[in-house]
């Protein structure tokens, strides 16, 4: 197994997160002409706030209580707000020296203007973070498609991150939308559940309402491993989802190959290639792989339709930039040789209930003969 070393990345993220707080505090002190004492208090407050979100995440994982849901949500919202604030403040620092050269903009004050822009961006992000995902219709023309798969409809659910009551309600709306398209197959490509939710009858009842001619199948994402893989897969089964963890299943004309989360399992390219060769049986093959990795190798190994998620399309800009550094296949439909690969932006949110320039979606694939 290939070992992935995330400690340097983790430390860099922590340092960057703390740096955002210090930058935002310094920017506010400078642009609102705070006294030295007030600026020191502001920096101290922002330093405490930097630990607020990680603390609520830890609290939710270890001692989740529905009565504290507001506290958890506040911690997550702050995490997204500080990212947006630092971005807006940085843009204002770059833009205002140029804007001041325009006579009619000379009276514009940077501090109030930037805070106004931040309020608009935050409201926009919150709207898309709470909005139910739209169905995205995608037609795929595949060579050698069996007659039984002509017009076949596949719905992909990914990155829902159900960890609270309000996400349960959001999922209920999704179920109704999905049933309207009468899918032949529903596939869950990981991160359906998160620490903070139990395998409640309410969630199982919602999932049971999903209508799919050939069933519902799912693979784990990295968050199912955080939840506890055995417990998470037990939840999948309770919800009527057949889990595939480095396993296969067959519909009348289609072979499904479900991979475990590649990074969490430290699976190398050779490990995944071995599994694909082992599981291929001549039928058209659909691969579910939570993280969009090893696509070039998959295209060289055979002809597949591969569905992934994980990236959230960055979820909150400018995080798109950093996500693209780690994942070449970031969002959308890709074709390599005779294989198609789709990376969805996901149906839900992780952490902050915010989305900016990365709308949620539920892909609906219709298969056609090329």
What CATH code is assigned to 133-369? 3.60.21.10
pLDDT value at position 329?
Answer: 96
pLDDT value at position 276?
Answer: 95
pLDDT value at position 93?
Answer: 93
Q: Which residue has the tokens 């973070």?
A: 129
Query: What length does the chain have?
Result: 370
Give the H/E segment covering residue 25.
helix 7-31
Structure tokens at 189: 């490509």
257 DSSP β-pair partners? 248, 287
264 contacts 245 by C-beta, under 8 angstroms: no
pLDDT value at position 368?
Answer: 95
pLDDT tens, N- to C-terminus, the chain (370 residues): 444 455 676 677 788 899 999 999 999 999 999 999 999 999 999 999 999 888 888 888 788 777 888 888 899 999 999 999 999 999 999 988 877 776 656 667 888 999 999 999 999 999 999 999 999 999 999 988 999 999 999 999 999 998 887 888 888 889 999 999 999 999 999 999 887 777 766 777 877 889 999 999 999 999 999 888 999 999 899 888 999 999 999 999 999 999 999 999 999 999 999 999 999 888 899 999 999 999 999 999 999 999 999 999 999 998 898 899 889 999 999 999 999 999 999 999 998 999 999 999 999 999 999 8
The rounded distance, in Å, linking the Cα atoms of 265 and 143 is: 33
136: burial class by Cβ within 10 Å (0-12, 13-18, 19+)?
Answer: middle
Q: Provide φ and ψ at 70, rounded to 5°.
A: -60, -40
pLDDT value at position 357?
Answer: 95
Q: Where in the chain is the domain with CATH 3.60.21.10?
A: 133-369
pLDDT value at position 104?
Answer: 59
Three-state secondary-structure class, residue 264: coil
- pTM (2 d.p.): 0.91
pLDDT value at position 3?
Answer: 42
341 contacts 156 by C-beta, under 8 angstroms: no
The rounded distance, in Å, linking the Cα atoms of 143 and 370 is: 5
The rounded distance, in Å, linking the Cα atoms of 96 and 98 is: 5
Among 154, 41, 130, CA closest to 353: 130
pLDDT value at position 191?
Answer: 95
The one-character DSSP state at 349 is: -
Widest Cα–Cα separation across the chain: 75
Instruction: Give me the helix-helix angle, 110-130 and 69-99, nearest 10°.
Output: 140
Among 147, 94, 144, CA closest to 117: 94
């Amino acid at each position: 197994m290939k070992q992935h070393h995330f400690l340097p990345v983790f430390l860099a993220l922590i340092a960057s997160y703390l740096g955002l707080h210090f930058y935002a505090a310094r920017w506010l002190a400078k642009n609102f002409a705070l006294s030295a004492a007030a600026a020191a208090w502001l920096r101290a407050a922002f330093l405490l706030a930097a630990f607020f979100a990680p603390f609520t995440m830890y609290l939710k994982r270890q001692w989740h209580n529905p009565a504290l849901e507001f506290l958890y949500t506040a911690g997550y919202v702050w995490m997204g707000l500080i990212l947006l604030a630092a971005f807006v403040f940085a843009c204002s620092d770059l833009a205002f020296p140029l804007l001041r050269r325009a006579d009619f903009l000379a009276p514009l004050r940077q501090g109030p203007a930037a805070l106004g822009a931040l309020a608009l961006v935050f409201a926009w992000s919150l709207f898309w973070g709470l909005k139910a995902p739209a169905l995205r219709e995608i037609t795929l023309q595949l060579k050698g498609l069996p007659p039984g798969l002509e017009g076949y409809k596949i719905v992909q659910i990914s990155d829902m991150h159900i960890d609270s009551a309000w996400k349960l309600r959001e999922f209920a709306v999704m179920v109704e939308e999905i049933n309207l398209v009468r899918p032949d197959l529903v596939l869950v490509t990981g991160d359906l559940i998160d620490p903070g939710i139990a395998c409640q009858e309410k969630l199982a009842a919602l999932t049971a309402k999903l209508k799919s001619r050939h069933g519902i199948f799912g693979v784990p994402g990295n968050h199912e491993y955080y939840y506890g893989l055995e417990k998470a897969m037990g939840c999948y089964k309770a919800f009527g989802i057949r889990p595939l963890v480095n396993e296969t299943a067959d519909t009348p004309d289609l072979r499904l190959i479900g991979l475990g989360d590649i990074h969490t399992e430290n699976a190398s390219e050779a490990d995944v290639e071995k599994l694909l060769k082992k599981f291929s049986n001549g039928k058209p093959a659909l691969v579910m792989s939570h993280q969009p990795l090893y696509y070039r190798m998959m295209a060289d190994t055979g002809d597949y339709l591969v569905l992934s998620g994980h990236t959230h399309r960055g979820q909150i800009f400018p995080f798109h930039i950093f996500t693209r550094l780690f994942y070449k296949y970031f969002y959308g439909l890709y074709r390599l040789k005779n294989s198609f690969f789709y990376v969805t932006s996901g149906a839900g949110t992780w952490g902050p209930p915010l989305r900016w320039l990365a709308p949620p979606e539920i892909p609906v694939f219709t298969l056609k003969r090329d």
